[in-house]
Structure 1
């Protein structure tokens, strides 16, 4: 049995869980998330906790036990608190703004970069160089943040680019003079 998989998932009071056959639906104040759970798992709800139990103890099923428990825990945290990623723009003239459902980035190109914001994601620009991205689905949040970052990944010589908050860049020395 997986050490992580056997831990119970604590449910806040504002979260409602529905389990129909293999479809797990979790509702909270920030949204609703659904996940298809394989038939080898049984999700039991009791006393404000969820327990993910494994039906068949094979090697591959044991490997998935901790994964599905963590996915369910992330769903519960997402609908009750939301996840947050912060991106920092570092470079001369780099700035961001939100116009409707579009994130507009000025990253030193000859044109601004327009990125459509998905429905389930909230984007807020603080100052002009800090982007706060919030969502209840951790997977979609990470994917959108990676798409924004892919326009200007941080480079090791001057440290310019789009960085995650508190990210450390290994700096290189560059050319040495004569």
Structure 2
């Protein structure tokens, strides 16, 4: 039994949701998001909350139950507070800055990296060594943060590179003479 799936998704004030068949559309102060559930679950609106129940007792229906409820919860969270990923840059001379819609990264390569920020995501650089990625879609925010991190992943000897804020990098010992 899904413990997550049993709980209804409460709608905070200022958020409107419409359920038509398998499609859930949520409107809030930050924007509009929608999700289409699979045929293995039933989505219903009851007393200002959205409930998800499985159709049948198959393994796939039970898998989709918790996942669909979490997807609906992410819609509500996205349109109310949004999602944010923070990155840190470590390394001598490594820095980032925003110029319009382009993130300019100086990462010790032979050239500067120009990262085009996609639609629906906001990237800011509070400091030269910090990057904040924000948006209403958790998947897109995570993907953009991952794409930025891929330009220079943290290496295990000195820890130089782009890492998520609070990420632990397992350090290795270097060669000995």
Interval of TM-score (by shorter of Structure 1 and Structure 2): over 0.9
Distance 1:67 1:46 in 2: 19
Distance in structure 2 (CA, Å) of the matches to 1:91 and 1:68: 41
Q: Which runs of 4+ in 1 moved over 3 A?
A: none
Q: How far, CA to CA, are the matches of 2:25 and 2:114 in structure 1?
A: 33
Q: CA offsets per residue over residues 64-121 of structure 1, 9 Å max, x none? A: 1111111111111111000110000000111111111111111011111011111110
Which structure 2 residue ranges, 5 or more long, are not aligned?
none
Residue of structure 2 in register with 1:128 after alignment: 128
**Within the alignment, does 1:53 sit opposite 2:56 as a pair?**
no
The Cα shift of 1:166 comes to 0.5
Q: How many residues align?
A: 177
| 1:16 aligned residue | 16
TM-score computed with the length of structure 1 as normaliser: 0.95
Matched, 1:29 2:29: yes
SS at match of 2:3: coil
Query: How many angstroms apart in 2 are the aligned matches of 1:56 and 1:103?
Result: 49
**26-35 or 161-170: bigger deviation:** 26-35
Map of 2:112 onto structure 1? 112
How big is each residue's C-alpha offset from its partner over 1:4-34, in whole Å with a ceiling of 9 and x where there is no partner?
1111111111111112222211111111111
Q: Which runs of 5+ in 1 are unaligned?
A: none
The alignment yields a C-alpha RMSD, in angstroms, of: 1.1
Farther off after superposition, 13-22 or 82-91: 13-22
Q: CA deviation at 1:150?
A: 0.3
